[in-house]
Chains A and B, each alone.
Chain A
Amino acid sequence: MAFTFSTLIQQIINGLSLGSVYALIAVGYSLVYSILLFSNFAHGGFLVVGGYACYYLLTQWGYSVAVSMFGALIASGVAAVLTERLAYKPIRERTSMTLYLLIASMGVNIIIENLFVVTVGGRIRALPQNTFPTGIFNLWGGVTLSASDILSLVTAVIFLSLLQLFLNRTRWGLAIRAAACDIRTAGLMGVNVTFLISLVFFVAGVLAAVGGIFLSVRYSLYPQLGSITTKAFIAAVIGGLGSLPGAVVGSLILGLAEMLTAGFISSQMRDLVVYSLLVIMLLIRPAGFFGKEISEKI
């Protein structure tokens, strides 16, 4: 493909838009990692719950867009909390090995995915056309900017700022930041750790739902949609596991890398570039851009 300036701009716009969706997912994942230090593979499941909740509230029960979205966020948050309580909490109480949590989270992901396969079928669905504004703005030289691009960027900025405010300005936000440093000490200082972890999962679930709704608008809705979270994990790792600014930066880098590859090399190479990026990053700097290097005392 020939290099043109307009393609570059176009792909940067697409990349930022995709990256902002990744960011919503990656931040939730990173938040859980920062507290419990394990990779929550069920995160993709929460996203699917959000997507389907929004779909059914809109189409079957005919609620307005705002109510449906709100309902989807709550549903996904509740799914996350339930997962924590039913699957993770008993494991955490029994052992400190995060490996077990990791495998359980894979199990939960498979369960959620296949619950939808069994109940509503694997059919690909689409949110109704008029859910979100669909206008396309023509900029110069054939570059287009769709309303959904703007919307996803704006929503991501809003939600991430809200999260930032929550973490920095509220008591529970402070508790979460303390727990991210050392959860046991936070518990000893009188923080209700059980509630705190549930809260973190709820927030992560809500963010995943936002990501899920945008993904189902951008692509379509199907039970395996959650597998796209692998990309968000990669973004979080590139940025530095457990670091929220890292997750955002990593997501934007990943979104841009994907779209630029699609625009200038070939769209089949997209995933390959993403995975290579991950491996290269892990080799150069395993802790990511913002992560902490952990050293062990002997």
Chain B
Amino acid sequence: MLELSHVNMKFGGVNALSDMTFHVPERSLTGIIGPNGAGKTTIFNIISGVYTPTSGNIYFQGSDITPLRAYQIIRLGIARTFQNLRLFTRSSVLENVMTAAQNRYISSFREEIFSGSVTQTHSPDPSCWYNFWESCFHLGRWGKTERKLRETSLELLDRVGLADRADQAAGTLPYGMQRRLEIARALALSPKLLMLDEPAAGMNPEEVFELNDLITGIHRDFNLTILVIEHHMDLIMKICPHIICLNFGAKLAEGSGEEIQNNPEVLTAYLGSDEEGE
């Protein structure tokens, strides 16, 4: 479904990612782990188009998305959350989700007749769409669409346990709830690939436990591929059958939780070795 092929990313002279190659299969739940500064978030930024890689390619559902801009990539069906929360703080919780929900796109493959190549196109989901004049006069599809957006968004809020907070300003929610709101907002885009950037950061053990259930539940019910970044090993080990381990911008190991835990290189990276104590 998602494939990174020999991706390099340089900031100034620093190699944030070097020769990153991995594959995320359809419907999988993959975890990315690694110490701080290993380049985990950079991977998300590159996939979601915040940065364009210095070299290498990214393929999503078979098509090359490397040159696309962030909003184009999102419209293809990739959604993400942010490590340092980025909600629309002054809007209400419900509005946050509706803002994303109105941007549902239907992407499909289109065969270029003349060049013979296959490209991916996207067009707005007609059930979420109405035009400028309809919004100016609140006529036509406005009423029906707004009602539908509101219902879908409330359902998603209910799913993450925030339905009773719908009218509150998003910025005033407690930290853990803001994290869950981010997940609901990303889900509202009805993505095919959901990328969660440290969803458990700053949560207490009980909240992490609930989060486990939430993520596995979403994975089960929404027909999604999920990619999670975490540096809490235990969370990842518990929910992700497939794990990729990074260190210093390079892939260190890949495999099941057990394989990762028994990999000597991973242990060195996490626990430090004699030559380079961390």
Asked if A pairs with B, the answer is yes
Per-residue A-contact encoding for B226-257, CB less than 8 Å = 1, 0 else:
00000000000000000000000000000000
Complex: how many Å from CA A260 to CA B245? 63
- Which residues of chain B are near A297, meaning CB under 8 Å? 84
Inter-chain contacts of A298 with B (CB < 8 A): 41, 45, 50, 82, 86
Residue of B nearest to A296 (CB): B50
Looking at chain B, what size class is its interface with the partner chain?
under 10
**Chain A residues touching B, majority SS:** loop
A297 to B86, CA, bound (A): 12
Q: Which residue of A lies closest to B11 (CB)?
A: A295
Q: Count residues of A near B (Cβ-Cβ below 8 Å).
A: 2
Within 8 A of B (CB), among A142-170: none
Bound Cα distance from A297 to B197, whole angstroms: 14
Q: Is the interface of B mostly helix, strand, loop or mixed?
A: loop
Minimum C-beta distance from A201 to chain B (A): 32
Query: In the assembled complex, how far is the CB of residue A211 from the closest CB belonging to chain B, in whole angstroms?
Result: 39
When C-beta atoms are compared, the residue in chain A nearest to B197 turns out to be A298
Give complex CA distance A83, B110 in Å. 63
- Interface flags for A77-118 (1: CB within 8 Å of B; 0: not) read 000000000000000000000000000000000000000000
The residues of A that contact B50 with a CB separation of less than 8 Å are 298
Complexed CA–CA distance, A298 and B40 (Å): 12
Complexed CA–CA distance, A298 and B84 (Å): 7
Residues of A close to B86: CB separation below 8 A? 298
Closest to A295 in B: B11
Chain B nearest CB: distance from A57 CB in Å? 51
Q: Tell me the A264-298 residues at the B interface (CB within 8 Å).
A: 297-298
CB distance from B158 to the nearest CB of A (A): 29
Per the 8 Å Cβ criterion, residues 78-122 of B in contact with A are: 82, 84, 86
Chain A residues, CB < 8 A from B82: 298
Q: Nearest CB to that of B48 among chain A residues?
A: A298
**For the complex, what is the distance from the CA of A230 to the CA of B86, rounded to whole Å?**
36
By beta carbon, the residue of chain A nearest B82 is A298
Measured CB to CB, the nearest residue on chain A to B41 is A298
6 contacts between A and B (CB under 8 A): A297-B84, A298-B41, A298-B45, A298-B50, A298-B82, A298-B86
